[in-house]
Amino acid sequence: MDWQFANLTKICLDHRSRQQHQCKKSLLQRIYKRGSCTFIIFLYIISAICPVRSVTFNDTNQDFRPKKMKLIRAHLARINKPSVKTIQACSCDMPYSSVYFSPDGDIIDCVPSHKQPAFDHPKLKGQKPLDPPQRLRGRKTRVYEENFQMWSMSNEFCPQGTIPLRRTRAKDVARAANVQTFGKKIRPVVRDTSSNGHEHAVGYVSGDEYYGAKASINVWAPVVSNQYEFSLSQMWVIAGSFGDDLNTIEAGWQVSPELYGDNYPRFFTYWTSDAYQATGCYNLLCSGFVQTNNKIAIGAAISPTSSYNGGQFDISLLVWKDPKHGNWWLEFGNGVLVGYWPSFLFTHLRDHATMVQFGGEIVNSESSSSHTSTQMGSGHFAGEGFGKASYFRNLQVVDWDNNLMPLSNLRVLADHPNCYDIQGGINKVYLGACKCGDPTMYEAYWKKAGQRCSVTMSGFQSLSYFGDAKTLCWFMEKKLEDEIRKLHKVAGNAVVDARHIVVGTGSSQLILAGLYALA
């Protein structure tokens, strides 16, 4: 059974074998000399031509000397805040199955919104988060929320008036080079050079005034070879030169063993007003981003993720400038406001952005004679196409009149094309359901493979089948769940529990019946 995705505007990041060479032109020079390209980008893997040395991640090499521990404790006291409720990973029983939620082991503290780290800033002392701004023109006011993070799958959330703050622990800070650099880019990022260890493959627009950007970003779990490297897919809203005055607002997903202590893809934000030098940080690890949402934890693990030749999952993000107060707001999915970056954090971005980028970034910590094995995106060739290469889709920018506009002159650029590449175009994409019939009939296969498969219908719902030694279940969105609750008595012994999950014999027939009823 196939469903058609018609005329999707996409980006996919790709990998191609090329002869190894050094990039001698600056990124800026090549950005402004490239011609236009079409609107689909497939983001890429590491080229097989690059000499690779893989390093195993070891989290045990941490320095807990008394002097450093004193600094770490003082830092933790600044960024962790008193909570009214704490949510931890738990093992939860349900009919016919035992499901373990939040395997990332995160601890989520529900912190009063006016006591979050942002309000340590002198300009925000004693204040409270602002009310939601006026929506963009043409955007629906109806908000549809969905669970996409591991910690929230237990259906435990923070109460109104609080925000979920991922607790930082001593071992997290100890992995950083020092306390001062924790929560910041691993090293200063100068975007117009190819010699600083950061490698990018991006699609971009420039030459106009931009007041925001929107994209749906395909989520994968790329392999990161050691704790000093990361891999991410994100969008950048940029102003200023690529010198010391660079202003950026960034959002997407990231795998960073150093920052989080694992290899899960995690929802993240970042900002800087001085080219990653003294200002800015990830997530809520400094006084910057003001969170207003009580159900999304910035820095928490994303679930599900995409699988090769199987289910595809993406997250939709929108950043735009509120014309009334000048703050830059972040929206997730279908109208869910996450929070905002106050305008006073920036210099150039107090007015508007001059460039928007969509793409991938990795850190290569190896010497010039070898190259990291860290993957970008899915870790597969872009030429392999949808379901195999990572993508961005539905790319848009916000104009001066608060309208979302399609991109008119998207260009693509890889600053290390010998290892990571990017490809653009417009395409029709066809996505099929699992080719395994009833997944419950193939339990042994799924247990062995440890894989998942899913169906995604554009603008409708997505559902994913997971198989492991203990669990056979489908994760659903609200509309589908409501329909299946009406049907479940007529299909095997499948049941639906409070966590939007259907399990048991006949589950796939039940899912397909629900889809048919909604079609």
Under a CB-based contact definition with an 8 Å cutoff, are residues 228 and 181 in contact?
no
| pLDDT given at position 365 | 85
Rounded to whole angstroms, the Cα distance separating 255 from 265 reads: 5
4: how many CB neighbours lie within 10 A of its CB?
11
Bridge partners (DSSP) listed for residue 198: 363
Task: Indicate if the alpha-carbon torsion angle 215, 221, 225, 227 is positive or negative.
Answer: positive
Average pLDDT per consecutive 10 residues, the chain (519 residues; last block may be shorter): 31 37 36 40 47 46 74 95 85 40 77 98 95 81 70 84 96 92 71 65 93 95 91 96 92 96 96 95 98 96 91 95 97 94 98 95 82 86 78 93 89 80 51 27 38 40 40 50 56 44 52 59
Report the distance separating Cα 150 and Cα 256, nearest Å. 17
Distance of alpha carbon 262 from its chain centroid, rounded?
15
Per-residue confidence (pLDDT) for residue 102, from 0 to 100: 52
The dihedral over CA atoms of 281, 285, 320, 27, expressed in degrees to the nearest 10, equals 20
Is 443 known to be catalytic?
A: no
Which of 146, 156, 199, 250 is catalytic? The answer is: 250
Strand order in 501-503's β-sheet? 452-457, 461-467, 472-475, 501-503, 495-496
Closest to 90 (Cα-Cα) out of 71, 65, 107:
107
Q: CA 138 to CA 125: how far, in whole Å? A: 35
Residue 425: predicted pLDDT: 61
Q: Is 197 left (phi over 0), alpha (psi -120 to 50) or beta?
A: left
What is the per-residue pLDDT for 408? 81
Q: What is the model's pTM?
A: 0.72
Q: CB of 499 within 8 A of CB of 481?
A: no
Mark whether 145 is an active-site residue.
no
Cis peptide before 342 (omega within 30 of 0): no
8 Å CB contact between 281 and 288: yes
Distance between the two ends of the chain, CA-based, in angstroms?
A: 13
Active-site residue, selected from the candidate residues 156, 361, 366, 481 = 361
Q: Burial of 450 by CB count in 10 Å (0-12 exposed, 13-18 middle, 19+ buried)?
A: exposed
Q: Residue 115, by phi and psi: left (phi above 0), alpha (psi -120 to 50) or beta? A: alpha
* Structure confidence at residue 94 (pLDDT): 41
- C-beta of residue 317 within 8 angstroms of C-beta of residue 125: no
Specify the 3-state DSSP secondary structure of 202: strand
